[in-house]
């Protein structure tokens, strides 16, 4: 019994030491003229920013920009809505559930006065 307890404490200690080093970055880049987006997730946030920009450049050309990024683990949604002849974009990253991320995006789009909302990407 003592060996099992000692092993459990060793495992918990190992988790406590390695937990801060878990990478959970995500980033969204977009092409502003036609609101086309590219995402990257799963590694350190700086690497994911570079990957999202590189993905967007390879798909849409050189005029892309970084829209949002985070190092918080969780769910994310990117949504767009029409407001007259323009497009409104909202991003939610690092939420605890997919429903929370989607509800946040829909609320932000409604607050901005957008209609005909659409969620483009769900990130897990």
Distance CA 33, CA 96 (A): 32
* Full domain range(s) for residue 99: 22-123
13 is a domain residue: no
Number of compact structural domains in the chain: 1
pTM as predicted? 0.69
2 is a domain residue: no
17 is a domain residue: no
Strand arrangement, sheet containing 75-83:
86-95, 75-83, 115-123
pLDDT in tens, the chain (124 residues): 555 444 444 445 444 444 455 567 888 888 888 878 888 888 899 999 999 999 999 999 999 999 889 998 888 888 888 888 888 888 888 888 888 988 898 898 888 887 776 666 555 4
85 is a domain residue: yes
């Amino acid at each position: 019994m003592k060996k099992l307890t000692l092993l459990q404490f060793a495992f918990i200690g190992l988790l406590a030491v390695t937990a801060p080093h878990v990478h959970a970055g995500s980033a969204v880049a977009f092409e502003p003229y036609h609101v086309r987006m590219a995402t990257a997730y799963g590694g350190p946030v700086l690497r994911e920013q570079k990957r999202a920009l590189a993905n967007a450049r390879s798909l849409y050309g050189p005029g892309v920009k970084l829209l949002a990024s985070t190092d918080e683990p969780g769910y994310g949604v990117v949504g767009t809505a029409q407001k007259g002849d323009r497009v409104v974009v909202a991003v939610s990253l690092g939420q605890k559930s997919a429903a929370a991320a989607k509800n946040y995006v829909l609320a932000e789009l409604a607050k901005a006065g957008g209609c005909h909302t659409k969620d483009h990407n769900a990130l897990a």
